[in-house]
Structure 1
């Protein structure tokens, strides 16, 4: 029987949620003092801040100079759907899904857009689709990092440089923590509230020259809501990519995103951010490897996420029980940790296999991940004792 004595060491920041994610180290409300509150986002002060957000995004993520970056409504979801509604239909499309958000894009394409030439390639939770099976003469829609499965596209995935179709990549839990091969991606989307710990409701849309060419040469055979329109009179609405947002953004959130970007630059830019996430994931993985009751949902190390790390309980005393009891056991673990104030919001996503999900992105401190592992053992001991009573 494991001890019920709580560990002495506590995470300084118990925020391990996979979205919204932990604020950057040292953050306080004072970081927002320069916000252009009560001012129009179209006034020079507002436009300058929005343009600065785009400029810093390009710098920190090392986005090529000829790619356009826009701030769009409705978070990452809005950015993905903006791209799908505007771009898909010119070619057949391959839709890749290995977790719930990838499944959402399948639903959009098949049931909402009703694309006639849609091919769906799926992998179960804990795996990713084999990119060798993808037809890149088609347009391709996929997530880079499965936020709800803890699986990411492996390094060196076979995305050809000379592809005929467009690649539309939902990178919301990969950007700022993993290097993205920009020359192999035509549309990249992400949100402020993931890897940089920004506030919600704003999405980022990055377009390659090939994507812009498609926008200008293809007229979608469907109505486009105002917030999806990027072309007017046969020309790209360039203002979207210069800080003239389609709808009114929160200037408070803009200020917070600017603060996060400046912090990202201060820790070494993309190299520093990736290194921080890698260290955090390595600290959690070291504990997983020495702990017999837990395992990574993604068994192949090549596809294991360094941000949204998804874990499953593998103790036979638990896995031999009915599925509902296994789910209840996993929820008990997260509830115990939240009650103690050492880890918030780490239950697995509602559509994912029962378990835990620990955010290890760059805004998390490695010392907090290490402190968390002792509490995970403690929670397991308490839950296991109760299970056996």
Structure 2
């Protein structure tokens, strides 16, 4: 692997700007929705509004109807992938990402006591997986599929590791509370999982690098030893850069690497935004003292406010407006930028779901509120 030259030493602030640039958070990009998703690799989508709000933050002139169409046409697919969590990914990325994640997805379900305790075996699950074209030729709910199977836990395992995607069920964000499933129109790759994982590493670094092997492993939820083994096979194409404290970081040719003094406008990120979860060391985006406020113990990751590229607070929709709560005092110049973003966001969510993320309001009573302002009333 090429070693970093002294002039390539990266500061913590440079790494922050690299992430923001690669995640389209320094300026909104003139891309269509599918290319926007491809640019950032994946959008965590366990909450249906999140892909819409993620792209609203990243794309110029984003029209949510375009994302509706991309989901319904399977140009973008929603499936269980990294971290055993639902993600929206470009259809062309899905086969290799799904194959790369197979050891994690299968192991997490086929080795679980909730599966083995029923006397089930991996072969039984694989036999049913071979019938997915028949079982899920058309969208069906989990209850409908379970009714066709002798063991309910077979479906519990299959819906996490088999080539299955979520089928849109309607507004306001394409996917409702009662999921429907369909066999993926883009089958998993037949490549060896470690070969497929090269694609995952490459795409991760394009979208989140420079980063460490441990960051790749945390992002995907794969074993560090496996991530290191895959990286070793990519030695000729990866670049080594020297990060803060002399740690070696991995990178790819051609990915943005802005100067550390590049301005970073405020952004109001959705719940579970990938920039908050993509690293083992999350201080690149979240100041350590705020991590517990934004990422709760149960895993809920609150809608975050970025100021100068770092989390400074959270936001929520209230009565047709957007309320911003900060964990530290902000300047009036910072608030002016937030006001512009929050007012536009209030208009955006009002058209579809004025109380977006309303079920998570219980967290706000537990947050330290330095300043609170409401915009868009």
Q: TM-score, normalised by structure 2?
A: 0.27
Q: RCO greater where, 1 or 2, for CA within 8 Å and sep 6 or more?
A: 1
What TM-score results when the alignment is normalised by the length of structure 1?
A: 0.26
Higher helix share: 2
